[in-house]
Amino acid sequence: MIKKIILSNFRNFSFFQSEFEKINIIKGKNGTGKTNLIEAIYFCLNGHPFFKNLNRVKKDLNKPTYLNANLINNTVHITINEENIKKIKLNGKLAKIIDLKKQFPCIDYSINSFISFKNKNYMFSLIDRGVFAQDKTIIDKVIEYKKLIKTKKSLIKENNINKKAIKILNEKLTETIKEISKKRVKLVESIKNDVYNCFNKFHKKKLNISYFEGKIRESTLKEELLKRKMFVSLKKDTLKITIDNMNMFYYSSVGEKKITLLCIVLAILKMYNSRGLLPIFLIDDLEGDLDIDVQEMAFEIIKSLPNQIFVTTLGLYNGYNVINLTEELQS
Ligand SMILES: Nc1ncnc2c1ncn2[C@@H]1O[C@H](COP(=O)(O)OP(=O)(O)OP(=O)(O)O)[C@@H](O)[C@H]1O
Ligand SMILES: [Mg+2]
């Protein structure tokens, strides 16, 4: 649980501090910084912002940015200095992204990232967070995958291409991809029924969700060498979601997509919670595009969770610990 956050020179906040409780309602008009505050909390729990570009998080580019969070028994301090170098400290000691991720699991509901279908990163990271509840080695595997991709990228661009080195790297890479994909397939299979049951509380339509491994062919590997481009990657995998047999990403309404994502996220949370892990739940922009009764039902489910919750609102949810950013801007 996060008890307090202090931000300096972060996004639209020159300086901001707030204390938190179990249920936190982040309230404010458009553009007051609700998503930015969610991102700041995410940053403190993950060691990086939503998109890894550090430039964009600074308000004044010539000054350092600080994020400080007090959790129960832990403190996180993140600095981005004048040269844009990031330093993470966990309880006063230098730490890495992986240290935070392993210690402070969090699940974020972000409909904008979900809808942008081309950007599979959010979906895959959500699935990996689910896998993490069952199997912590997923983080090490994903890090290994990223390192292999980076090395391969530089090898493939070299003037005198080293085919032997690339061949060895490809073997390792395809093996790592297979391992990660298999874990993801298993995760999606294990949450399926919970997702369907949740969806049917809201809609009568039939939801279907499956993860498919991308195929790596010999010809793809040859094409890579020919074109000097990378084709072998986890991006060949797909998460297929259909509602009444139609591709959700192309055909469904925003409201249907929102409920689908909510149900996926809730199923992942349930799995964590059953293992006593209780991740922090960040919910950005759930209410817009949802019917009032659907909003009420969704909030009923969310507020009864044992997790610490942060939810942004234009003003609909009330009570609990309200962080009013409109008032903050005026003061
Ligand atoms: N690096 C930055 N420096 C200064 N301002 C920034 C920076 N990044 C984002 N902003 C500003 O922060 C403001 C708040 O953005 P944010 O997305 O958090 O608003 P919001 O309250 O979530 O709005 P909405 O209700 O529309 O979702 C925006 O006006 C944006 O221009
Ligand atoms: Mg927002």
Q: Quick: pLDDT tens for 275-321.
A: 999 999 999 999 989 999 999 999 999 999 999 999 999 888 878 99
pLDDT beyond 70 at 118: no
pLDDT for the residue 227: 87
* 25 pLDDT more than 90: yes
pLDDT in tens, 77-95: 999 999 999 999 999 999 9
Question: Which pLDDT score is estimated for 330?
Answer: 67
12 alpha carbon – ligand 1 mean position (Å): 6
Indicate if the pLDDT at residue 328 is higher than 90: no
The pLDDT assigned to 219 comes to 85
At 117 the pLDDT is 61
More confident residue, 120 or 331: 120
List the shell of residues around ion ligand 2, using CB closer than 5 Å: 34-35
- For residue 56, which atom of ligand 1 is closest to its CA? 1
Query: Cα(5) to centroid of ligand 2, in Å?
Result: 19
331, pLDDT greater than 80: no
> Cα(108) to centroid of ligand 1, in Å?
18
Average pLDDT of 134-160? 93
Residue nearest to atom 27 of ligand 1 (CA): 30
Confidence of residue 116 (pLDDT cuts 50, 70, 90): confident
Closest ligand 1 atom, residue 36 Cα? 18
CA-nearest residue for atom 19, ligand 1, is 31
The alpha carbon of 160 and the centre of ligand 1 are apart by a number of angstroms equal to: 47
Mean pLDDT of 135-143: 94
pTM, 2 dp: 0.95
Q: What is the mean pLDDT of residues 201-222?
A: 92
Closest ligand 1 atom to Cα of 39 = 18
Residue 149 has pLDDT above 80, yes or no: yes
pLDDT value at 235 more than 70: yes
Q: Mean pLDDT, the chain, as a whole number? A: 94
Look at 14-23, 45-54, 100-109, 273-282 and tell me which has the smallest mean pLDDT: 45-54
Ligand 1 atom at minimal distance to the Cα of residue 12: 5
CA 193–ligand 2 middle distance (angstroms) = 31
Q: What is the mean pLDDT of residues 157-184?
A: 93
Kindly report the three-state secondary structure assignment for every residue of the chain.
CEEEEEEEEECCEEEEEEECCCEEEEECCCCCCHHHHHHHHHHHHHCCCCCCCCHHHECCCCCCEEEEEEECCEEEEEEECCCCCEEEEECCEEECHHHHHHHCCEEEEEHHHHHCCCCCHHHHHHHHHHHHHHCCHHHHHHHHHHHHHHHHHHHHHCCCCCHHHHHHHHHHHHHHHHHHHHHHHHHHHHHHHHHHHHHHHHCCCCEEEEEECCCCCHHHHHHHHHHCCCCCCHHHCEEEEEECCEEHHHHCCHHHHHHHHHHHHHHHHHHHHHCCCCCEEEEECCCCCCCHHHHHHHHHHHHCCCCCEEEEECCCCCCCEEEEHHHHHHC
Decide if pLDDT at 142 tops 90: yes
